[in-house]
Amino acid sequence: MKMFNYIGLAGFALLMVQGLAAQSSFVKDNFPVSEEKIFYQEVISVDSTVSADKLYLETKKWLTKVFESSEKVIELDDHQSSTIVIKGFVEKGHNGFVKNPKNWFTLTVECKQGRFRYTLTDILYEFSVTLEGYSNEYHEPFEKWMVQPEVNSKRKREKTEAYLNQYCKELNNELEQIIKSLISTLSDSNENEDW
């Protein structure tokens, strides 16, 4: 009987973690989406006199302020094309059972004279769960992981859906804060040049 309880508890945890195979509206309702994937992208115009090189260098300065070790998050640093690709993460788990949650993302910043384009995509959710001595690790695309939960009770399903929607909103907010910080820094790149 005790073994059944462990298996039942582990099974319940897996259902809460994986849900069904079909894509839910959690992602579509809470994030910008393109082709079924979370996808943030925008071209931002700044002062037309600001060079691509200046925007590129300001992006590198921004990295040192936002990430603990900017060298560790840079996947591509192409000064010639004024492009930087960053692989960073937001530490946010969906419940108290998860350990070491990381929502990995790829942020590409491409700079041109008087403008830059950011693209934030490829969200991967990584975490581990240990319940009653059983451990599992997960590392998969957020869109695949964030699916409709399989819960028989209507009340529990509604509560779980509300909780997961809130989790998505909070994660979206954190990703948007990173983007807003980048935009603010690069938009102000021409100020205070004559100190």
pLDDT digits (tens, 9 = 90+) for 120-171: 999 999 999 888 888 889 899 999 888 766 777 888 888 888 888 999 999 9
pLDDT digits (tens, 9 = 90+) for 99-115: 899 999 999 999 999 99
Query: 17: part of which helix (H) or strand (E)?
Result: helix 2-18
pLDDT digits (tens, 9 = 90+) for 5-40: 444 444 444 444 444 333 458 899 999 999 989 999
The Cα angle at residue 175 between residues 169 and 180, in degrees rounded to 5:
115
Spatial CA neighbour of 109 closest among 69, 68, 70: 70
The predicted model scores a pTM of: 0.82
What per-residue confidence (pLDDT) applies to 149?
A: 67
Q: How many residues would you count in the chain? A: 195
**Residue 168 neighbours by CB under 8 Å, 6+ apart:** 26, 27, 29, 30, 31, 146
What per-residue confidence (pLDDT) applies to 191?
A: 57
